[in-house]
Structure 1
Amino acid sequence: MDYVKGNGTKYTFGAYADATTGKVVVETDAPSEVVASVVGVDRGVVDVRKQGVADNFSRRDDVPSFWGGAGITLSAPSARCSSGYTVQDSVGTRFQVTAGHCFTNGQTAVTELGGRVVGTISGNGLPSQDMELISGQSYGSFIYIGGVDSGTGAHVASAGDPVVGFANYCHSGRTTGENCGHTATSVTATVCTSSGCKSPVIAFTGGVLPQGGDSGSPFYVNSVSAPDKHIRGHVIAIGGGTAYAELWSRVSARFGVSIAT
């Protein structure tokens, strides 16, 4: 546990005392040098098994406390979107953010698979602000990373607006998974779709861009020296070789919230 606290969840571990053999069993996908530093080298006592350990949930079949970047929909047949990230108000009540064109006020969002209730929609900002809140359940300060069926998450440490010209922003959604290498080309862009015109928003290019179903997914930057993520907004539109995202500052101002860490 101390290793994971200090180094993040790059590797997985499972450990238990096997009463039938009298050994401590450690299952992990960590390299040998990491295993040695954690459990020592006494193989007479410790039985190391080289295999990963996975959570029994994923971004398309999420469970409370719900994470950002997960697949969400309605209980009746509906288009799929992605959850964004968790915020909290002045008294500590938590919400999740997603794109406003996904659902309407009063509807109940559920997980893409399993149909678990993620929460009730409120605060829809259309036509000028493509954002809304999901409330009523437990929401964690993590976002899914990795592929479309990933069960791995990363901690959200802060939020702020992006810097034009920076070339390694990321998004993580239910359709394309986690992809980085995006360049923020503008933070004063305008995008007009069937749901209305939004401005100012982020325009970004480069890398594997979002696709349908990634709306609402977090737009963020990685930490330099830690596994933490730093929210910059959420995806709202894609056209040609440019994608668009709402600015964190617009979300914070509209709802009077701070990022949940």
Structure 2
Amino acid sequence: MRTSTRMLVGATVTVALTVLSAVPAQAGPGKDREPARVSVAKDDAQAPDRAVVTKAVPSSASAALSQLQGRIATYVAKNGTRYTFASYVDGTTGKIVLDTTAPATVVASLLSTKGASAAFAAASSEVQLKSNGVSDAFDRRNDSPPFYGSGGIASGGGICSSGYVVQNSAGTRFMTTAGHCFAVGATVTTEAGAYTYGTVSNRRLPTISGHAQDVELLGGQSYSARVFTGGVTSTTSIPVVAAGAASVGYTNYCHSGRTTGEVCGHTATSTTGQVCTATGCKSPVIVYTGGTSVGSNGDSGGAFYAKDASGAWIRGHFIAFGGGTGYAQPWTAFSSAMGLSIVIY
């Protein structure tokens, strides 16, 4: 890990970008190299799961399942993803299982025997219904569209955190992050690498654009006005309800990022601070202390906010830390200049 540091008023301030680098190991002088190996794939029939005797699924059940899944796909294409569906033939019973959050009227239409084959009519009467509901496998470090704020994002070996959703005058949505994270034009992915998160534009950084700000926008994908809460692999989130200026003396601000998760109990000590790091001097910035952690490497770009029962009140995003003090880029310092408005949930 490399971190950029510069001394500021006797304290070390660290720009919270994590950079990962892998150096291939190699033999040193006088050391023998390991001889090359030739690997031969094992016979898959010897795999431990091959010892199970699989019960054949009746062809009638397979045909009925195919029809049901076709109906479900048509319904979702027409009506959207309000309800979840999972369907399969249980190999132990030979019966179709349908797990859905859809109401009884929708289920009845999907299982209707009108115009259906005899196989479907026979199988539909024995469908095992469940109402557990299903969801995408995702978390703060493995987000999926539409993307939330305060999740892990990566590009070129660097890891940061997403911020909150904004839009321009044309209504085009973007996700914010810290300007010191990625270069303009960079393709950013989720931390786990499963999805493209967006392309960097509108970068503002003293050493790049001359602005005393630390912000950039990610665009080109689907973004939702929510921010992750909870721990570093949490799936919990809250809606964004507004954005505005921080208040000095407030004692329960939160920051949320991929490294430290959500931490609250921060006290804003200034809204007119300046922080100078290897990427230049940024001002004004929000200065805060308190909480179990003020932030760490990789949290850069993560949302900084106050929260109540209604959701998150955005005040900016985390950009630097040092000596038990955190620094956040204020929302109010760049939003109007860049023609941006906050997107609420």
Q: Same fold (TM over 0.5)?
A: yes
TM-score by length of 1: 0.78
2:180 corresponds in structure 1 to: 101
Runs of 4+ in structure 1 over 3 Å off: 14-28
1:211 corresponds in structure 2 to: 296
Instruction: Tell me how far 1:114 sits from its aligned partner.
Output: 2.6
Structure 1 residues 117 and 163, CA gap change in structure 2 (3 angstroms): same
The counterpart of 1:186, out of the listed 267, 270, 278, is: 270
Indicate the structure (1 or 2) with the bigger Cα radius of gyration. 2
The counterpart of 1:248, out of the listed 331, 339, 342, is: 331
Q: Does the 8 A contact of 1:54 with 1:151 survive in 2?
A: no
Rounded to whole Å, the distance in 1 between the matches of 2:226 and 2:182 is 22
Which runs of structure 2 are paired with 1:162-173 in the superposition (5 Å)? 162-173=246-257
1:4 corresponds in structure 2 to: none
2:192 corresponds in structure 1 to: 113
Deviations 1:16-51 (A, max 9, x none): 7898999975659xxxxxxxxxxxxxxxxxxxxxxx
The counterpart of 2:321, out of the listed 238, 241, 248, is: 238
Rounded to whole Å, the distance in 1 between the matches of 2:128 and 2:313 is 42
Rounded to whole Å, the distance in 1 between the matches of 2:205 and 2:312 is 27
Instruction: Tell me how far 1:152 sits from its aligned partner.
Output: 1.5
Q: Does residue 73 of the first structure (1) align with residue 154 of the second (2)?
A: yes
Instruction: Tell me how far 1:115 sits from its aligned partner.
Output: 4.0
* Percentage of matched positions with identical amino acids: 51
The counterpart of 2:305, out of the listed 195, 217, 220, is: 220
Three-state SS of the structure 2 residue aligned to 1:203 is strand
TM-score by length of 2: 0.60
1:60 corresponds in structure 2 to: 141
Deviations 1:157-182 (A, max 9, x none): 10001100000000110000011000
Rounded to whole Å, the distance in 2 between the matches of 1:130 and 1:175 is 19
Q: Does the 8 A contact of 1:56 with 1:151 survive in 2?
A: no
Stretches of structure 2 that go unaligned for 5 or more consecutive residues are 1-99, 108-123, 207-211
Rounded to whole Å, the distance in 1 between the matches of 2:297 and 2:152 is 12
- Structure with higher strand content: 1
Rounded to whole Å, the distance in 2 between the matches of 1:206 and 1:247 is 18
CA RMSD of aligned residues (A): 2.1
Three-state SS of the structure 2 residue aligned to 1:121 is strand
Stretches of structure 1 that go unaligned for 5 or more consecutive residues are 1-13, 29-52
Rounded to whole Å, the distance in 1 between the matches of 2:321 and 2:284 is 16
Rounded to whole Å, the distance in 1 between the matches of 2:194 and 2:277 is 29
1:40 corresponds in structure 2 to: none
Three-state SS of the structure 2 residue aligned to 1:249 is helix
